[in-house]
Structure 1
Amino acid sequence: MAPRTEHGHGAPSPLVDRFGRVHTDLRVSLTDRCNLRCTYCMPAEGLDWLPKAEVLTDDEIVRLVRIAVDRLGIRTVRLTGGEPLLRRGLPGLIARLTALGPELSLTTNGIGLARTAAELRAAGLQRVNVSLDTLRPERYAEITRRDRIADVFAGMAAAKAAGLAPVKINAVPVRGVNDDEILDLVEFAAEHGYRMRFIESMPLDAQGAWNRDAMVTADELLEILGRRWELVPVGRHGNAPAEEWRIDGTRTVVGVIASVTRPFCGGCDRVRLTADGQLRNCLFATEESDLRALLRGGADDAAVESAWRNTVARKGPGHSINSADFVRPERPMSAIGG
């Protein structure tokens, strides 16, 4: 690995892989724990959670994000889980991360937002994405195995009131489960001033039960939306994963993340850090780099930076979901971070 070079005003050299992709977006999982048991994510009894001693401390997270921002050129950081609102002392951690300079956002199931949104915004959090697959209380309870949809609605309203804008709703449409609510979700989001995004289901569930035939594809989604509205392409902002369409004559924008049928790997600028300090250069990576061991072994910042660059340098051209060679990662989505 060539030595790190500095550009004007101490700017770090880009974090580049062998395909020339520059990585500026870091996803940081704060915990693998979750207070829901969504049927497409984990079994009813939950999973074997990481022991507390294996989870990165606040100081370790701050140090790694500082290295990422100051030495690797990371500009945006998204906090994920599991459910990140379960992390104790989260406002304090967000304040420390905000001081490092990146744009900071968070993905949540929304259950804890009503009581925390204002404090998180005051600490420096800028935006939230809320996972919500249905508007129907009975169906929500079936999907998540918890009767908490009222808390999610209250949480989104609190996030909007606190200035965490735009509040984005992430829904995973599954055939025969919630695909009859696609139009309803868009109308709900438009009515409340939220931003709707649909995500193709991916083979990242803990049970290994993902079924391609149950996945509602981007083409199907657009066909359903097109029956009701005329869609005007907005495109994709930079390397953002969502392609967006505006409903003609309105300000309503709908996003579609088609990770399976329209892979955007060629423009991927993301790298992921798990709650136990493992660096992943792809959501579907089958190997990881142990940054926690470096930190706890006394490594200096230069050694951590070198390990980070080496990991990204090994990044492949893209996932192989659509190939016979595809191998599922050992960790499920809840243990990787979105």
Structure 2
Amino acid sequence: MSGLTDRWGRVHDYLRISVTDRCNLRCLYCMPEEGVAFTESSNLLSFDDIVQVVEAGAKLGISKLRITGGEPLVRANLDQLIVRLAGIPGIEDIALTTNGVLLAGQAAALRAAGVTRVNISLDTLDPVRFKFIARRGDLKRVMEGIEEAARVGFSPIKLNCVLLKGINEDEITDFLRLAYEQPLHVRFIEYMPIGHADDNWKNHYLPLTSVLDAAAVAGYSVQRKHNVKGNGPSDDWEMEGGIGSFGLIHPVSDHFCKSCNRLRLTADGSINPCLYWVDELNVKPALGDAAALEAVFAKAMAVKPENHEMAAKLADEALTHVPTERRMSQIGG
């Protein structure tokens, strides 16, 4: 059995690595419009540090990595880190999550370095609405990034769409059509209260039953799809006659904690056992000592909770633990 088995019997083989908490967008569900206090560059984990942590994790059973941020492509020379991570014994798969704004210029180098798959955040297909949700940036550049990712051979290409009631729910059918007509996997994601659980979250939260309802109204015949490559908790579907597919990620309405296989490494050097709770374990004191790093991973297994309680938060019920105050961009979603 893997050395990374928690108290509930869940085996962990997947590490999400945030390489920066900085981002070139300010998406309304991820970061305040004014931004947050970013980590000083001197306090970020260096590439050498990240490699040390992954080497320790790989000895314990970590085999799958995902590079995240913030926006990972604002970290200089990211392809150099990827080359090093891909060469660690035991690492079999390296994926990347990006907002796509800088992807067109880096896709080829990332592919050559060892990134196998990309997830691209895309919450709207409307340029004006893009400016409203992201608060900056250009939808055209994201679409160019998607095209270049396909050209250099990334497969599958997944589009992450956070559904926001009253903002982009009217585009569900447009995204379904995109997945029907192109070899893309569109993933609809519920809005999570990471770092905030205010009225803005509750007012814009939308359960994903609306997606299957929209597919039926649009006349798509759907059936479950079981062979979408990836490490995540997506509930996947395909449309009869369609080229692509779509998935539902519903952490609030139907949490998937029983099958959780992931840990997160923040850009400033903490292992986060659960995205929602406050618990974090600083790896910096253990750097330079492989056994000490392995001990940090072991402690993460010891403190990881059985589940998060986002649904309880939505219902204004009491929680058994303390939610994090860090925003999604500061943790690495």
- Give the TM-score of the pair, scaled to structure 2: 0.92
- Matching residue of 1:270: 262
CA distance in 2: counterparts of 1:321 and 1:206, whole angstroms: 11
Write the deviation string for residues 204-260 of structure 1: whole angstroms up to 9, x where unpaired: 256845433422212122111222212102258796310011112334321000000
Deviation larger for 105-114 or 141-150: 141-150
State the one-letter code of the partner of 1:127: R
1:148 to 115, 127, 138: 138
After superposition, residues 155-194 of structure 1 pair within 5 angstroms as 155-194=145-184
- Matching residue of 2:7: 18
CA 1:30–1:147 in structure 2 vs 1: closer, same or farther (change >3 Å)? closer
State the one-letter code of the partner of 2:233: P
CA distance in 2: counterparts of 1:62 and 1:225, whole angstroms: 44
2:76 to 71, 88, 112: 88
1:307 to 289, 293, 296: 296
State the one-letter code of the partner of 2:76: R
Write the deviation string for residues 177-217 of structure 1: whole angstroms up to 9, x where unpaired: 00000110121233332110000000025684543342221
> Do structure 1's residue 113 and structure 2's residue 103 form an aligned pair?
yes
- Matching residue of 2:29: 40
CA distance in 2: counterparts of 1:242 and 1:207, whole angstroms: 23
2:234 to 234, 238, 242: 242
CA contact (8 A) 1:204 1:210 kept: no
After superposition, residues 188-203 of structure 1 pair within 5 angstroms as 188-203=178-193
CA distance in 1: counterparts of 2:130 and 2:245, whole angstroms: 24
- Matching residue of 1:8: none
What residue ranges of structure 2 are gaps of 5+ in the alignment? none
- Matching residue of 2:272: 280
CA distance in 2: counterparts of 1:81 and 1:18, whole angstroms: 29
Per-residue deviation at 1:315? 1.0
State the one-letter code of the partner of 2:329: S
> Do structure 1's residue 227 and structure 2's residue 217 form an aligned pair?
yes
1:66 to 44, 48, 55: 55
Give identity over the alignment, percent: 41
CA contact (8 A) 1:203 1:328 kept: no
Write the deviation string for residues 250-286 of structure 1: whole angstroms up to 9, x where unpaired: 3432100000001000010001100011011111121
> SS of the counterpart of 1:246?
strand
- Give the TM-score of the pair, scaled to structure 1: 0.91
- Matching residue of 2:328: 333
Write the deviation string for residues 20-60 of structure 1: whole angstroms up to 9, x where unpaired: 00001100000000000112222222111001111000000
The alignment covers a number of residue pairs equal to 323
- Matching residue of 1:215: 205
- Matching residue of 2:94: 104
> SS of the counterpart of 2:48?
helix
CA distance in 2: counterparts of 1:273 and 1:242, whole angstroms: 21
What residue ranges of structure 1 are gaps of 5+ in the alignment? 1-11
CA distance in 1: counterparts of 2:160 and 2:186, whole angstroms: 7
CA contact (8 A) 1:24 1:270 kept: yes
